[in-house]
Amino acid sequence: METQYLRTLLMAAQEGSFSRAAVKLNVTQSAVSQRTKSLESCCGVTLLDRSAAMLQPTVGGRLVIEHAQRILELEEQMMRELFSLADKKHLHVCCTPAFGLAHLPHVIKRFTAARNDIDDLMFLFDTPSRALDGLRSGEFDVAVIEHMPGLDFGGMSHLELPEDEMVFVSAPSLDIPAGEVELETLQQQRFIIRREGCSCRDLLSFNLDARGVGVDTFQQVMVLDNFNLIIGQIVAGAGITFISRSVVSAQLNDGSLREHTVSGFECYRQRSIVAMTCEVPTSLKRSFMVSVLSHFNIENVIK
């Protein structure tokens, strides 16, 4: 039984809807539904009554929710106590891949120049929901994530960073005109996409849903869960993608990729830096957060 399934159940019960829970958790509605079904299968009982307009916990569901809250609190307490045992000065950061590829190297250079007293420095890439789960459990100290609007930070400290611009890109060999094009022109191509749970895919789905179509309306869909692989395939002319402009700025500048827009498409997603607490001014966590703000030329507003 995974603790993220328990968090999903709590959010679904709180929101009374799989779709609203999905928005708060920054995952798809099908992921929320599937996690709930898996948890019900594990428990051997139905946990949510789906017959009414809003989801309601069953008798068994209320029992699981009561214990789930305690389990999650114990997990957070355990991780905090484990980390407090270590004498090493450590900083564990999780970020979404777009920030990691486009901005993290510059942030690391700035941060390590200011702090040479670090014994254990770790950076991992993951989805927004897993990054927040890691903060809650104590696995991560700080997260920097791109995400859809309405993400539930659950009381964690967070600061807004500049938004991230998304663009369609293709190789010149596909002969798609640069600039604004019709969606139908792009749908004639193979679309290379990341896995579910990534906000780049969520933003694409949001735009396609508004037009009454899905990602399956492209000629073919290929899922690759690595930005470098995706970029390599796009440069080779294997298809198109919808990606952070900052990640492919070099290829756009040297002409190996072309940029495309679709009229009416929402092309910006939010970006935030998140932590459970901001701590004292001398902490590694706070120093890293200040380095991120400085990278984006933002005045230090951490309280």
Specify if 301 maps to a domain: no
Residue 302 falls within a domain, yes or no? Answer: no
Angle formed at CA 52 by CA 49 and CA 55, multiple of 5 degrees: 50
pLDDT value, residue 280: 57
Say yes or no: 178 and 245 in one domain. Answer: yes
The pLDDT assigned to 103 comes to: 97
String of DSSP letters for 108-157: HHHHHHH----SEEEEEE--HHHHHHHHHHTS-SEEEEEE-TT---TT-E
pLDDT of the residue at 83: 60
Residues of the domain holding 91: 86-162+270-295
Same domain, 227 and 279: no
- Please check whether residues 203 and 61 belong to one and the same domain: no
Residues of the chain with pLDDT under 50: 87
| pLDDT given at position 26 | 74
Report if residue 290 sits inside a domain.
yes
pLDDT of residue 266: 95
Q: How many CB atoms lie within 10 A of CB 31?
A: 18
Look up the pTM and report it.
0.72
Q: Count of domains in the chain?
A: 3
Query: Tell me, what's the pLDDT at 73?
Result: 83
